[in-house]
Structure 1
Amino acid sequence: MAGRREQALDAAVRVLGSQGTRALTHRAVDAEGDLPAGTTSNYFRSRDALLSGILGRLLEQEKDAFAALAGEPHPVSADELAGRLGAMLRQLAGPARPMTLARYAIFVEAAHQKPMRLELLAWSRSLWSWAGEWLAALGSDRPEEHAREVLAFADGLLLHRLSRGGDGEFAPEASLAALLRALVEKPVDN
């Protein structure tokens, strides 16, 4: 069972992801988490402290998700990797939508707060290194650089889907596969 601090952070993620940054108050988090009044402010004295706590909680969850993904066998083709990334993006745009929206809101906050930005950058470097290993296995000659490009592209697809919606099926695999093939396949000399 999660402690009250984690309970408050999970509630804060839900508030942020479902109602936006303006709705994120200590009182709203207490109500969302069914916590006694004042609990959130006992753990996070300021809004900045709460935002920093949310970032830490989201990164913790992201690390767990990527650790599970990293434990799988390396993909053997661009299409296989595109399939895995596409499935992850559908999860993030569907059932995990509130958490994903909270993640993007925190990214915007990190742009204005150097300590949060540095924490996010440290995690990103780990992610680029891990993703670079998979791209190297597929033949990338610049795996970490390509990992940054692929993950930025995937984030763009996800953000576009979340912010602009769409009634049709979210099927990012073809776009991801095209990018991956362009990065890892060597041109044939004539």
Structure 2
Amino acid sequence: MGVGGLTYRSVDAAANVPSGTTSNHFRTRDALLLGVIVEIEKLRRAFWRALVTEINPTTVADLVGIGTAYANGAVGMMSTRVRAYMALLMEGWSHPELREPLQRGRDAQIPRTLQLMRKVDPKTPELHAEIFQDYLTGIIYQQLANPSPNFNPRPGIEALLSGLVTPRVVQE
């Protein structure tokens, strides 16, 4: 279907609400697209928070576990939402008004990622959190676009994080 198939009627039908409900809340198509972006970002943050709550990272292996769970969740139980988000990213190429809210979502995720990485290595620069987030986005996009039945993000995430994060040494 893609973003082009996102209509008031299709949203009303998917939400099982009376016809016209969506257009009452979102008066323009741009407002509808922005509303979808905001909702997907909320769900993405909640998913990330749930992972981080389960694992309080103190080692690179912990970070690898979080990244692996995030990637697997994004191509698994969250795949419909992630596909919608990826379609919106592509839509940003031809609709500049979508770029800022999409970028805002990425920009909000970087400090959260950096905070986790700094639990393992307090000197981790922000650039490393950006690289890690962009890597996750790339492998998730690749798996959704060209699914591999043997998808295993762990080795790549482990190799990347082993280069980006130096565990702190406990001095005796």
- Give the drift of 1:113: 4.2
Equivalent position of 2:156 in the other structure: 175
- Give the drift of 1:26: 1.0
Equivalent position of 1:40 in the other structure: 22
Over aligned residue pairs, what C-alpha RMSD do you find?
2.0
Q: Quick one: which of 155, 165, 168 aligns to 1:184? A: 165
- Give the drift of 1:121: 2.8
- Give the drift of 1:135: 1.4
Q: SS at the partner of 2:17?
A: coil
Equivalent position of 1:11 in the other structure: none
- Give the drift of 1:114: 4.5
My pick for the range that moved more, 150-159 or 85-94, is 85-94
Summarize the alignment of residues 16-165 of structure 1 with structure 2, pairs less than 5 Å apart.
19-139=1-121, 141-165=123-147
Contiguous gaps of at least 5 residues in structure 1: 1-18
Rounded to whole Å, the distance in 1 between the matches of 2:64 and 2:124 is: 18
- Give the drift of 1:115: 4.5
Query: How does the TM-score come out when normalised to structure 1?
Result: 0.78
Contiguous gaps of at least 5 residues in structure 2: 168-172
Rounded to whole Å, the distance in 1 between the matches of 2:19 and 2:138 is: 38
Equivalent position of 1:16 in the other structure: none
CA contact 1:133–1:143 (8 Å) conserved in 2: no
Q: Report % sequence identity.
A: 28
Rounded to whole Å, the distance in 1 between the matches of 2:13 and 2:116 is: 43
Rounded to whole Å, the distance in 2 between the matches of 1:54 and 1:70 is: 24
CA contact 1:44–1:50 (8 Å) conserved in 2: yes
CA shift digits 1:100-141 (9 cap, x unpaired): 101111222334444532233333233111111221222263
Rounded to whole Å, the distance in 2 between the matches of 1:28 and 1:53 is: 15
- Give the drift of 1:176: 0.3
CA shift digits 1:154-187 (9 cap, x unpaired): 110110000001222x21011101100111238x
My pick for the range that moved more, 126-135 or 47-56, is 126-135
Rounded to whole Å, the distance in 1 between the matches of 2:98 and 2:73 is: 26
Rounded to whole Å, the distance in 1 between the matches of 2:27 and 2:42 is: 21
